């Protein structure tokens, strides 16, 4: 066998691999450019939550962050452009933070808000304590919306509270936990595991924000560690299945959660806090707020909004079968509500949004609504505002004038007013993040 033939034998496969690598690199960059182009043209450049800020000077273009993103789909969140990592789909990012963890040169910082859109966040120390000694915050209220993050924060916050409550005190209980969503539920288990005297109050039902999701909604999670129970291995699970799992854990561990009990005031007293609720009052050495960011539903402030046919969240789309429904809003909740109702038989759905694009919604929800609009199941009204709600109709202002349409029910999914006022009343500092950590 000649030397030239041997060289060809080794060089040929190497050339094939090189060509395949270069081709794949070009294809990925094209996909990244396309995702960024679509986001720019649609005006969808404002991340809704915690997101990566990439230092292009430090970035070495290894692509680890792109591969690590759990929400990655055809480079619609992070991509490679010009051999550098870029956030090509800002509104698709939901704050996993895996990109920062894998970056070998620390070129990624996780931030809230942008230079043009601020987000109110309570000031919280690394141990989850606020500026008020003994007052802690975990979960969605602190800006972390993922179930996995909330569960982990609830557990970690309770570890800090265990240390805080070690010193002798004259309070009735060691910790009062406000909220039984993912963070509060995890914290309650951790408090029991640590042997702390604790009380958990929840103004509604187990699950917090999750309990308000529409029926059969898929809840995206990653494995998380629940105190006492161990690893929660769900990756994609429906709301009902997750709530059922939590209920079984509640029963098995015999933790006690006081439902339908709303916190009215929290005031410093002695070496702890006096917490007054709709049913009781407690003197607690520490308080953990795990109440989420949903807060009070944002109202439209229009005549007729107090009618019984107006609601602020969708639980069961089936109840609207055969009716004329108006959904107001442009986020994921609004799009999911409109699509779920439109998929019921003999239902007419109008989706009204004040802006010109669904800039805060995930691609799968935008695509779902677009498909239903194309088939005539949903009528989408951009740049529109509801001005009047009547018993059998609604009036909507559009760029070319007002329109009155038949209506049996209104679902307002316009977000919530953050409990910033409540936090400030307690004494907790709240700041607006403009693209900062």
| Pairwise pLDDT comparison (376 vs 20), residue with the higher score | 376
Chain length of the chain? 437
Residue 196: pLDDT over 60: yes
Give tens-digit pLDDT for 144-165: 667 778 888 899 999 999 999 9
Mean local confidence (pLDDT), 315-331: 90
Q: Round the average pLDDT of the chain to a whole number and report it.
A: 84
Are residue 388 and residue 423 in the same domain, yes or no? no
Are residue 395 and residue 284 in the same domain, yes or no? no
How far is Cα of residue 137 from the mean position of the Cα atoms in its chain? 16
- Give the closest residue to 206 by CA, choosing from 184, 234, 237: 184
* Domains identified in the chain, total number: 3
Are residue 269 and residue 179 in the same domain, yes or no? yes
The pLDDT score that the predictor gives to residue 340 is 92
Mean pLDDT lowest among 33-37, 50-54, 101-105: 33-37
Residue 177: pLDDT over 60: yes
- Give the closest residue to 396 by CA, choosing from 353, 333, 338, 341: 353
Domain boundary among 56, 80, 111: 111
| Alpha-carbon torsion, ordered 162, 165, 166, 169, to 10 deg | -160
Are residue 100 and residue 198 in the same domain, yes or no? no
Mean pLDDT lowest among 36-40, 45-49, 116-120, 294-298: 294-298
Give tens-digit pLDDT for 93-106: 767 778 888 899 99
Domain containing residue 96: CATH number: 3.30.70.20
Mean local confidence (pLDDT), 47-54: 80
The pLDDT score that the predictor gives to residue 314 is 84
Residue 408: pLDDT over 80: yes
List the beta bridge partners of residue 137.
289
Residues 6+ apart with CB under 8 A from 261: 201, 202, 203, 277, 278, 279, 280
Are residue 105 and residue 176 in the same domain, yes or no? no
Mean local confidence (pLDDT), 391-413: 93
Q: What is the DSSP letter of 112?
A: B
Are residue 252 and residue 316 in the same domain, yes or no? no
Domain containing residue 331: CATH number: 3.50.50.60
Are residue 89 and residue 146 in the same domain, yes or no? no
Are residue 282 and residue 149 in the same domain, yes or no? yes
Are residue 148 and residue 172 in the same domain, yes or no? yes
- Pick the most confident of 157-166, 231-240, 415-424: 157-166
Residue 404: pLDDT over 50: yes
Helices and strands (H and E) in the chain: how many? 9, 27
Are residue 331 and residue 291 in the same domain, yes or no? no
Quick one: angle between helices 182-194 and 239-253, nearest 10?
20
Are residue 355 and residue 395 in the same domain, yes or no? yes
Give tens-digit pLDDT for 113-142: 777 777 777 888 889 999 999 999 998 777
Q: Which residues of 294-315 are buried (b: 16+ CB within 10 A; e: fewer)?
A: bbeebebeeebeeeebbebbbe
Are residue 348 and residue 373 in the same domain, yes or no? yes
Domain boundary among 63, 81, 111: 111
The range of the structural domain enclosing residue 191 comes to 120-295+418-433
The pLDDT score that the predictor gives to residue 74 is 45
| Pairwise pLDDT comparison (412 vs 72), residue with the higher score | 412
Greatest C-alpha distance within the chain? 92
Domain boundary among 84, 111, 138: 111
């Amino acid at each position: 066998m000649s030397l030239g033939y041997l060289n060809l034998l080794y060089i040929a496969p190497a050339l094939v691999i090189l060509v395949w690598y270069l081709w794949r690199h070009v294809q990925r960059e094209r996909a990244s450019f396309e995702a960024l182009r679509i986001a720019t043209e649609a005006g969808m450049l404002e991340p809704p939550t915690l997101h990566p800020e990439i230092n292009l000077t430090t970035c070495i273009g290894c692509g680890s962050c792109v591969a690590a993103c759990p929400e990655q789909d055809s480079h619609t969140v992070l991509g490679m452009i010009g051999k550098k990592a870029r956030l090509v789909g800002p509104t698709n990012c939901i704050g996993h933070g895996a990109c920062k963890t894998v970056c070998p040169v620390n070129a990624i910082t996780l931030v809230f808000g942008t230079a043009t859109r601020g987000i109110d966040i309570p000031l919280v120390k690394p141990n989850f304590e606020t500026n008020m000694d003994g007052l802690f915050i975990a979960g969605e209220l602190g800006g972390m919306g993922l179930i996995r993050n909330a569960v982990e924060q609830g557990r970690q916050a309770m570890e800090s509270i265990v240390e805080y409550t070690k010193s002798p005190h004259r309070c009735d209980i060691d910790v009062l936990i406000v909220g039984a969503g993912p963070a509060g539920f995890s914290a309650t288990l951790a408090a029991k595991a640590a042997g702390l005297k604790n009380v958990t109050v929840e103004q509604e039902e187990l699950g917090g924000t999750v309990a308000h999701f529409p029926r059969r909604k898929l809840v995206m999670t990653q494995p998380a560690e629940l105190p006492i129970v161990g690893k929660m291995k769900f990756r994609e699970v429906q709301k009902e299945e997750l709530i059922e799992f939590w209920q079984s854990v509640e029963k098995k561990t015999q933790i006690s959660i006081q439902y339908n009990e709303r916190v009215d005031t929290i005031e410093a007293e002695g070496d702890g806090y006096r917490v007054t609720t709709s049913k009781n009052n407690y003197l607690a050495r520490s308080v953990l707020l795990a109440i989420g960011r949903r807060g009070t539903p944002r109202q439209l402030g229009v005549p007729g909004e107090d009618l019984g046919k107006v609601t602020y969240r969708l639980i069961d789309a089936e109840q609207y079968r055969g009716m004329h429904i108006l959904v107001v809003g442009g986020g994921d909740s609004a799009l999911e509500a409109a699509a779920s109702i439109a998929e019921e038989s003999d239902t007419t759905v109008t989706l009204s949004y004040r802006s010109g694009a669904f800039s805060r919604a995930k691609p799968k929800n935008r695509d779902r609504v677009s498909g239903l609009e194309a088939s005539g199941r949903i009528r989408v009204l951009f740049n529109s505002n509801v001005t009047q709600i009547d018993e059998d109709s609604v009036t909507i202002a559009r760029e070319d004038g007002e329109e009155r349409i038949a209506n049996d029910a209104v679902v307002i999914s316009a977000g919530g007013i953050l409990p910033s006022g409540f936090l400030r009343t307690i004494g907790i500092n709240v700041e607006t993040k403009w693209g900062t950590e």
